[in-house]
Amino acid sequence: MKRTELMARAIVGAWLLIALAASVWPPAADKVSLPGILAPPGIEAWLGRDDLGRSVLARLAAGARISLEVAGVVVGVTALLGTALGLIAGWCGGLVDTVLLRLTDLFLAFPGILLAIALAGVLGPGIANVMMALCVVGWVGFARLARAQTLSVKQGDHVQVAHALGVAPARIVLRHVLPLIAGPLVVEASFACAAVIVAEAGLSFLGLGVQPPTPSWGSMIRDGARYLLVAPHLVLMPGLALASLVVAINLLGDGLRDRMDPRRP
């Protein structure tokens, strides 16, 4: 295993532990300390304090919980929905396949993040609406991948034998097709996690995501930008946190893709 992948696993694991710890940390994340307003990193506050004297470290931990929760829910829903639609379209073909292709082309005609911003703006700010908006635009990649993989797998000898033996189509899909296409879908899910985390931070930065006083890395960067010259840690800390998690997840996705490549010796 490559050293970079080991580091990526360590970073993702650390953020998962921090997010779990944040479930009992919210009071610290919202605790106001007026004497510590804009305090730089130090012994009392390792990563400094924000414009209300709240601990940046505690708010980063709470923000990690929000980001990972959103990523887990959105990727889970979009993976299930997109995989199901892709399997049905690839297996049935004909009109069903054509309708799915036209539907995915319609969604791909608009940049995903812009469509998510529009949906979040229509639905209103809030974490639930952000999840809904990201789910609406996130299933397309899984559907296209599942369809393409299904088209290649359903011509296999084992599928033809199952047909000849009279096995029900639903059973063939679940027992003989889905396990063979699961690998690429897992890789797609890892990259989708990173994309969702960035999208959630972007929507929160624009004020369409998590609402105060609940912390989010995107809203922390937005609020800290006003004090960039006097308290740069308010932007640097959440920015580094976001970058470290997204890069680590992408590195894990690259590692999964390399290991699942059938051309790899």
Cα separations in angstroms, 190 against 72, 194, 264, 265: 10, 7, 20, 23
Distance, in Å, from the CA atom of 176 to the CA atom of 59, rounded to the nearest integer, reads 46
Is residue 201 domain-resident? yes
Taking residues 240-265, report their average pLDDT: 82
Cis amide leading into 213 (omega within 30): yes
pTM of this structure: 0.89
pLDDT for the residue numbered 40: 86
Is residue 70 domain-resident? yes
pLDDT averaged over every residue in the chain: 86
Indicate the number of domains in the chain. Answer: 1
Tokens read off for 116: 């998510």
pLDDT for the residue numbered 217: 92
pLDDT for the residue numbered 1: 57
pLDDT for the residue numbered 26: 60
% of the chain beyond a pLDDT of 90 = 29
pLDDT for the residue numbered 4: 83
Instruction: Identify which of 91, 145, 175 has the alpha carbon closest to the alpha carbon of residue 260.
Output: 145
pLDDT for the residue numbered 68: 92
Tokens read off for 200: 């959630």
Tokens read off for 11: 């970073």
Taking a C-beta distance cutoff of 8 angstroms, is the pair 38, 227 a contact? yes
Is residue 62 domain-resident? yes
Is residue 57 domain-resident? yes
Is residue 188 domain-resident? yes
Q: What angle do CA 89, 95, 100 make, to 5 degrees?
A: 45
Taking residues 179-186, report their average pLDDT: 87
DSSP 207: T
Domain membership of residue 111 as a residue range: 3-259
Inform me whether the pLDDT recorded for 240 exceeds 80: yes
